[in-house]
Structure formats: structure tokens, C-alpha cells
A and B are shown apart, each in its own frame.
Chain A
């Protein structure tokens, strides 16, 4: 089996969600215990800080292990094709270790599984570079290589970091493809990237809705976020002009196209914030706010409208003014947006209906649930489970 066990991974996410319900008192402790028992088998969640520790330690084990093996096989590595065999050997061992960590130790998102996966990819990367060194002179080839190297495991493992890397590599592929074609295509690069971003955004929006599991949805969310950010960056005046200079196309863009980029630089952040609030899209809103800061920096890069200290005071005053207006506007919830904290919203939910179905016992045979399902028969009539 490549990748993670789907049932265990799905139950991992269900477990986290059900635990949240329990914390919010949407369900009582007894119901929580029953649901947790029913959500088996699953990967066990790990705390973020523990994951960081496990990631570092696994990296130390791999590095020390590779160093140890290198010392033992130093003569083999030094021989003609020994380096290749050593790298392939290390790759196979790491792959076996990775399978052991996932399949035997049932690790998912614990840091240890990511460390082994990324190490595998690192060794594969190194092997490929040493084997086909001359191919790595082409930026287009490198982009395609990274797209495949990151994209395939991203698809198999549903890993968000790899998904982000693969998606960025796809942008690089389009960029260098157009650049290599040359001529008018070079000038069309910003628009091609914007088109790709727009496609990525609309496609990922649909996939987020239609995805059947949490891990896939999270990966599409990453693509969604990157697409939104890349759409802005592809049309940002500073990015386009400075990249054009780097590519020797400083004056290639006609005046009206430059004006268009200026308009895009100013308009996209505002559009993001507007649509973020209207369609309740946090990704648009967050990136829109960051884009405002980047657009201000873009303007200041070319035109120092006022000294920095006055710009800071004015910026601070404007921001506080906007906050004041926003707080007045959202004194009550409007447009499906609220100034209240998420936790306050969640804790305000009053669940009056019953949690467990009276047919709970029936699923015992199809699920791995081992609790006394019959005890819940008819449960809930009291209104408080």
C-alpha cells in the first residue's frame, strides 16, 4: 500500500472533530467515548510541539544512520558506480523505514512520517541530479522535475507541503515554457500565470466542495490559497517590472500595459477583501489584507509620496480608522460576517437534539465499533442524551 491507510486517516480527522464537539459540550462525555470507540482504527493525533520534536529527532536518526552507513561503505562509495548503488541502497532503506513508520507504527502527521517521507524525496532528488547532471542546466526541466517529484507523492500522501511545492513548480513550468518559446509569449507570462491562478482558484473551489475526505480537502485548500496569492503577485507592478528587468525586457511592455499592472496592483487587494467578505472566503480576505501592504510597498518603491515617518503615522491612523468603522459596522452580525471570536460562536450553539441514533447497535457488524450499542436504543428522548 502506498501512502497512508485511508480509513485510519479519515478516522483521525473524525476523531479530532468529535473531540472538538466534546470540548464545546455539544455532546456529553458518554457520547464522546462511544463515538471515539466507533472511530477505530485510526492514526493517533500528536500535539504540534511533540511533532516538532519527533521531526527533529527522526531527521537526526536518518542523518546519523546515513553517516554510519557511509563510514561502513566508504570504499564502495568511492568506487566507479558505488555512489549510485549506495544512494539507491539508502533510498530503498529509507523507503522501507518510511513504510515501517506509517504501516507498523501508525504514524500520521506526527513529524516522524514527514521526516522519513521528505528524506526519501531528498535522496531521490540527489540520485537523479547526480545521474542526469547535464539535464539540470535547463530551468524548464528543473521545474518539470520538481513538479513530478513533489506532485506524485503529494497526490499519494495528500501532503500539504508537497502540494504547495508542486503547485509552485507548476507555475515555474508555465513561466519557463513561455520564456523559452520567447517573443510575444514572454510578454504574456504575467497573463498566463494569472490565467493559471484563476483556473487553479476556480477548480480548487469546486474540488473543496466535492472532496470526500478531509486530507484531500486540505490539499485543495492549499492550492486555493496559492492560486489567490499568485494571481495577485502575477499582476503586481513591482514583481512584473523587476522580473522584466531581470529577463532583459525592461521596456518591452507598452505604456498602457504598465498602467494595467498599476491598476491591478491597486484593485486586486480591494477586490479580494470585498469578495472575501461578500462570499465569506477567509483565504481571499487574508491574502487581500497582506496584498494591501504589498501594494503600499510597491507604490513607495517607485514614488516616495511622503517621508517614512509621516507614512507610518498616516498608515497607522488609516488602519485604526478602518478598524473603528469595521467595529461599528459589525456591531451586529451582517453579511454573514461577525467580529466575534470563532470560539464564542461555537460555544453559543445549543444542541437540543439527540446525538446517537437508536440504530447505533446495528452498525456494530459493519464498523469496528465494539461498544454496547444497544444501550443507546431510544436514547435521546430526554433531550439531553
Chain B
């Protein structure tokens, strides 16, 4: 800022008064520890919930069950009661938290609730062998809380739990490194979840009901669908047939990127489409028995040409979007 003020002042582009006001503002501006406070709160809540969960895990057979269930349940209920008392009435739009602590107390309540529910299932088998219920019920509770208290973090947790109810582990590591989509059923489940999430995002946005949740839904849905399609393409017999399913996803992402000026969506759509097209070309070469040096030249030329085209495309789209 100081260099800009100096440059503009020296070149007579701003008045001395304005420059002086900016300089005074800059030198008097207090240092913000806003994000430090929030990071520490998040760490504190996570450590506390993890510690309590570990206590239960390690002492599950030694401490009185009622004591543990009581303490965890009471703490969780206390957190929810605090949120209920302090939250404004439900609004379909975005609303600001009543205070700095609110979001983190809600998060702590949910983490403790999950420990509480897991403990009840382990110790008292409250859902019996219907393990799906043990996942879908907390997912439903968390979704309800996310909408009631307008919490994007809880929405992500709810989506993750909902996915695990469908048998899909939704973490970047599991999606990219492990065989989450090892068979056709898993890929189909992934695609169904993708459609549900994209649909939920679209519905919310079009009905103006928690419109700001749409990015979270789209983000999960798009990556899940695209990775499911790519894994199916790479691993299954006649897998290349799957790849065409990526076209509507990518088209949707490009549309979203243009409409919302989202460069993140643009980059993601571009990466998935580049992988898909490149895979089809290489697969095509291999299927044509392309093992001569000529094909190597052609493929390298493809990489150079496609990258140059892609750079031009990205830059052009960027200029159109800004």
C-alpha cells in the first residue's frame, strides 16, 4: 500500500490530502487477530472432542457406562441448548452468527453428539444390526442443524455422513488413493449421490432456500461424480464408455464458472476434461496398435498443441469472466 500511495502521490494522481489520509490510516490501523482467534477456537474444539472420544475409546470397559454417556450427552445437549437460546429465528437466507463462539459451540456439540451416538451403538447396540441407521440418523440430525443454524461446516459433515451411508468414503485421500469405486455398484452409488447433491444445490439456489449452500453441494457432487467416472473409465472393461458421462458434469461446471465467475470451478472443469480427452486419445492410439516411434511423436505433439490451446482457452475465458 505504501508504495502505491507514494507512486500515485509522486505522479500527482492523488491529492496530498488523500495520500496523507491513507498513510495515517495505514500507520494507525490495528493488527487483526481475527483469523488467529478462529483458528485457535477450531483447534480447541477439535482437540477437546478428540480427547473425549479417545477417553471413551480407551476406557470403554472400565468406566461406568452411565457416567460416560451422561457426561458426553449432557455436554452435547448443553451446546445445542446454548445454540438454540442464542440463535435468531430460522431464515432461508444467510445470516450472521450471534457471536464469535456460536459456530464453534455448535461444532463441539455435534462432535460430542457423534461420540455419544457411536458409544450408544457400540455399548448398547441401540440400532441393532441396522448399521445404516447408525449413519443416516446422525446425518439427518446434522443436516437439520446445518440448515437451522446456517453452518457450512456441518453441511459438509452431513454430506460426508450421507455418503458413508451409501458406502462411499468421502475424503480426498480415500477418493484418490484407495479403491472407493472398486466395482460398478460403488460407481453407480457415487453417481447417484452426485446427482442428489447437484440436485440439492440447484434446488436450494433456484428456490432461494439457503442459496449460499449451493457451492458446497456442487463441489462435493462434481468431484464425486467426476472421480467415479474416471475411476470406472480406467479400471472397468469397456471403461471408456463411461467417460462420456463426464461431459454433462464438465459442461455444468463451466456454466457455473461463467455464471458465478468461479475460477476454481473453471480450473476443476478444465482438469477433468483434459484428463478425459487425453485418456481417450491415448486409449485410441493403443487400440490401433500404435507402438511405433511415429505415435510417440504424434502424442508428444498432441501434448504440446493441446496445452497451447488450453492456455489460450484459459486466458480467454479468464478475460471474459473478469
Contacts and interface: CB of A to CB of B under 8 A. Distances in A.
Contacts, number: 206
Contacts of B7: 10, 14
B17 interface: yes
B3 A285 contact: no
B54 interface: yes
Interface of B is mostly: helix
A319 B21 CA distance: 38
Interface in A325-366: 326-327, 330, 333, 336-342, 345, 349, 351-360, 362-363, 366
Given A18-B4, A53-B270, A366-B11, A355 B18 contact: yes
Contacts of B3: 10, 13-14, 212-214, 217
B33 A285 contact: yes
State which size class the interface on A falls in. 35 or more
B37 interface: yes
A309 B18 contact: no
B44 A353 contact: no
Given A50-B263, A353-B18, A360 B34 contact: no
A49 B322 CA distance: 13
B307 interface: yes
Interface in B1-49: 1, 3-4, 7-8, 11-18, 21, 25, 29-37, 39-41, 43-49
B314 A57 contact: yes
Name the residue in A61, A217, A322, A357 with the highest tally of chain B Cβ atoms < 10 Å from its Cβ: A357
B310 interface: yes
Contacts of B86: none
Given A323-B37, A345-B32, A359 B12 contact: yes
B18 A54 contact: no
A314 B51 CA distance: 8
Contact of A319 (B30, B44, B50, B264): B44
A311 B54 CA distance: 11
Interface stretch (B113-121, B143-151, B180-188, B295-303): B295-303
A355 B14 CA distance: 5
A280 B31 contact: yes
A241 to B, nearest CB: 26
Contacts of A356: 13-15
B238 interface: no
Contacts of B322: 47
A64 B47 contact: no
Interface of A: 10, 13-14, 17-18, 35, 38, 46-50, 52-54, 56-58, 60-61, 63-65, 67-68, 71, 112, 212-214, 217, 277, 280, 282, 285-286, 289, 307-320, 322-323, 326-327, 330, 333, 336-342, 345, 349, 351-360, 362-363, 366-367, 380
28 contacts: A17-B4, A18-B4, A49-B267, A50-B263, A50-B266, A57-B307, A60-B307, A64-B307, A71-B297, A214-B3, A214-B4, A309-B51, A310-B55, A312-B50, A316-B44, A316-B46, A317-B44, A319-B41, A320-B45, A320-B48, A323-B41, A338-B30, A345-B29, A345-B30, A353-B18, A353-B21, A357-B15, A360-B12
The 7 closest A-B pairs by CB, nearest first: A312-B51, A316-B48, A316-B47, A313-B51, A319-B44, A64-B303, A309-B54
Given A68-B300, A319-B41, 10 more contacts: A18-B8, A47-B322, A49-B264, A68-B301, A312-B50, A313-B52, A315-B47, A317-B44, A339-B32, A342-B32
